[in-house]
Structure 1
Amino acid sequence: MGNKPQKSPHLFKVFASEDRESLIVRYPYQRDSDVEFGYVEAAKRLAASFRGQPIDDAILMPFMYLWRHAVELSLKQQIKYAAKLRRANGEQDASLDPEKLRGWLNRTHSLRDIATELAGHFAHLDLPEMPNDTRRTLSWLIEADPKGQTFRYPGGLPDTQDFIDFHGLRKCLEETYNMVSAGIDVLWAYGEAQEDFLAEQREFEAEMRADFEAEMRAEYGEEMGS
C-alpha cells in the first residue's frame, strides 16, 4: 500500500467528463465486493451482446475471465470475513492474522487453494458446505484455470477446437457464481447471531461483576474503595 499513487491517473484526468450523458465514475475506497460486482455486471453485459455470429467467438475468453475472477473475489471476501468471525470467537491461530491473510490472498490466484481455505473456515464455524452441484462446477472451473492465468493470456488451454453452447455455459457460470456468493449471506447471518451472543455475554459479565462488587461492599464496607 505504500506505493499507492496519491493522484488520479493522468489518463482519467485527460478525459474528464463535461456532461452527464458521457459520465462514468470511479469511486475511491472500493472493496472486493464492489469490484466483484463490476466483473459480474461486465460479464452479463458482454453475454447480452451475443448474437450467434462468428465474431462472437472473440468474447469467449474475456467472458470466462470475468466470471472466473468474480468467483475468486467472492471467495476471498468470504475468507476475510470468516477469519474475522473466528477471531471474534476468541481463536488466535496465526493464519487468522489480518495482515498475513491479506498478504496471502493478494499473492494467490489458485481457485483450489482459495476454495479449500474457505471450506476450512466454514468447517471451523460449523457452517454448511457448498451444494454438490456448485462444488462440481467449481471443480470444472479449477481444472480449466487452476492459477488465474488461463483466460488472461493465449497458450493456457489445449490445442483443441471446442464447440460450446454459449447459453448453457452462461447459465451454468452465473448460477455457480450466485451459489458461491451466497456464502457471504450465510456468514452475515452468523455474524449477526455472534454479535447478539457477544452482547448478551458482555451484559451477563457486567451483571456478574456488579453483583460481586455489591457483595464485597456489603461484606467489607468502605474498605473496597480505599
Structure 2
Amino acid sequence: MDQADNMMNLPRPRWPLQEIAVIGGTWEDDLAIAGGYLRVAEICATHWSRNGPDDSLPVPILYNYRHSVELSLKWLIRVAARIVRRGGYDTHGMNLERKKVEGKLRGDSHSIRKLAERLNTYLVLISDLNPPNNRIDDESMETLHWLDQQDETGETFRYSMIGRGGGSRPARPTPTNINFYEEVNKVHLLAHLLQAGYSAYLDHFEELQQEYLEEMRKP
C-alpha cells in the first residue's frame, strides 16, 4: 500500500481494543439504533455549524435526524401498546396485539405523520396518563409535521430522484435558500426529546406498571 492509499484511510484508534465494535444482541432495539443515528446527525450538524457552510451536508444531516425520529416513534408505539395490553385498558375495539401492531408499523412505513398520530392514539388509551402527558406536546407535533412535509415517504432525504418509473422526479428541483441552522436545530431538539424524554417517561411508567402487577399477584 503506497502513501496515497494510507492518506485515504480513516485514522486508526490509539489502542487495538478500540478497533472493536459490538453490534447486535438483546440490547439492540429501535431506540438504541435511533440514538446512533442521532449521534451521527449531531456530530455532522456541529461540524457544519462550526466549520462554515457546506451544502453537501444538510440533506444527509436531515436524513439521519429524521431516521432517528422515525425509529424513536416506532419504539414508543411498541412500548405504549405493551402498556395498554398489560394494563387491560379499554382499546375501544382496536387490536393492539403484538403482531397486529407490527403490521400497523409496516403499513405506516416511513410516514412521520402516521407514526406520530398512532403514538397519540395509543397514549390516549392509557387512562392512567393524565393530560398533557397522554399525547405529544404541541411544539413537538409542529416540528413532526414540518419534518413530514419535507419528506413524506422517507425518500426525499435519501435520494436526488424520488418516485418510480415514469413518475420519478427530482427531490429538490429548484435551489432554495433556507436558514438551515434554525430548521435543523428544531429537529435536533425533537430527536433528543423523543430519545431521552418521552422514552424515559414511558419506560419508567412501564416499570412501575410491571411492579404493581407483580405485587397484585402475590398472595
Q: TM-score, normalised by structure 2?
A: 0.75
Native 8 Å contact 1:110 1:147 kept in 2:
yes
Native 8 Å contact 1:40 1:66 kept in 2:
yes
- Structure 1 pair 26/162, CA: closer, same or farther in 2 (3 Å)? farther
Q: CA deviation at 1:167?
A: 2.5
Tell me the residue number matched to 2:137: 131
Tell me the residue number matched to 1:8: none
SS in 2 for 1:183: helix
Tell me the residue number matched to 1:169: 183
Superimposed CA distance per residue, residues 4-31 of structure 1 (whole angstroms, 9 cap, x where no aligned partner):
xxxxxxxxxxxxx9x6277141412221
Q: CA deviation at 1:75?
A: 0.3
Tell me the residue number matched to 1:58: 56
In the TM superposition, structure 1's runs of 4+ consecutive aligned residues that sit over 4 Å from their partners are: 91-94
Identity of aligned residues (%): 29
Unaligned runs of 5+ in 1: 1-16, 207-226
Native 8 Å contact 1:61 1:151 kept in 2:
yes
1 or 2, which has the higher helix percentage?
Answer: 1
Q: TM-score, normalised by structure 1?
A: 0.73
Report the AA paired with residue 183 of structure 2: L
- Is 1:144–2:144 an aligned residue pair? no
Native 8 Å contact 1:134 1:180 kept in 2:
no
Q: Distance in 2 between matches of 1:48 and 1:24?
A: 26
Unaligned runs of 5+ in 2: 1-12, 163-170
Alignment of 1:26-175 (within 5 A): 26-29=22-25, 30-50=28-48, 51-53=51-53, 56-91=54-89, 95-107=95-107, 108-126=109-127, 127=129, 128=133, 129-156=135-162, 157-175=171-189
Q: Match for 2:204 among 189, 195, 200?
A: 189
Report the AA paired with residue 123 of structure 2: F
Q: How many residues align?
A: 186
Native 8 Å contact 1:81 1:187 kept in 2:
yes
Native 8 Å contact 2:62 2:184 kept in 1:
no
Q: CA deviation at 1:146?
A: 1.2
Native 8 Å contact 1:40 1:70 kept in 2:
yes
Tell me the residue number matched to 1:219: none
Q: Distance in 2 between matches of 1:114 and 1:174?
A: 18
SS in 2 for 1:84: helix
Please say which structure displays the higher CA radius of gyration. Answer: 1
SS in 2 for 1:149: coil
Q: Match for 2:16 among 17, 20, 24?
A: 20
CA RMSD, 1 decimal: 2.4
Native 8 Å contact 2:160 2:172 kept in 1:
no
